[in-house]
Amino acid sequence: MKEMNLKKYFTAIKKNDVDTIRIESEKIDAAIAAAEGRAKVRKLTPKDIYNAISEVEDRLNIPKKYLEGIKVVVDVNADTFPNAYKYIPESTYFEAVFRSGSWKLTDVYRYKTAGKTCGYNVSLTDDAKAAIISRLERF
């Protein structure tokens, strides 16, 4: 998949610009559809991507300059299934990286559904780790 800049989509959602949201959603939907194929469950939407990245930013709660280089791998449908479940449950994952001041969607793919507590995997840079520690040292 070709890397896709999410800045226009995120800005359109914040401004509630319906036309831009529709146009940018179609681009993201095309990447998702290519990954999902004929999947019917545990699918992904552009809004899921926006919500997940917003949650990552909220939880980290650090200035944007320290987000540079952070990579996230997210399964928004993370869940646990009983052992009696007949099949191997799969979800649609996405990978994104914060580069040059905005989030870039780098990959969308299907893989075994993550456990409930493993839906978000965040790879932090040393600068981001230092910013988080600094934020928590004073409150």
Nearest to 52 by CA among 81, 73, 26, 69: 73
Per-residue pLDDT, averaged over 11-38, amounts to: 96
Q: What angle do CA 12, 25, 92 make, to 5 degrees?
A: 125
Task: Decide: 52 and 39 in contact? Cβ < 8 Å.
Answer: no
Indicate the pTM of the whole model: 0.94
* Band of pLDDT at residue 86, cut at 50, 70 and 90: confident
Q: What is the pLDDT of residues 104-132, one digit of tens each?
A: 999 999 999 999 999 999 999 999 999 99
Give the H or E element holding residue 109. strand 102-112
Q: What is the pLDDT of residues 26-43, one digit of tens each?
A: 999 999 999 999 999 999
Which pLDDT value is given to residue 78?
96
Domain residue limits, the chain: 4-137
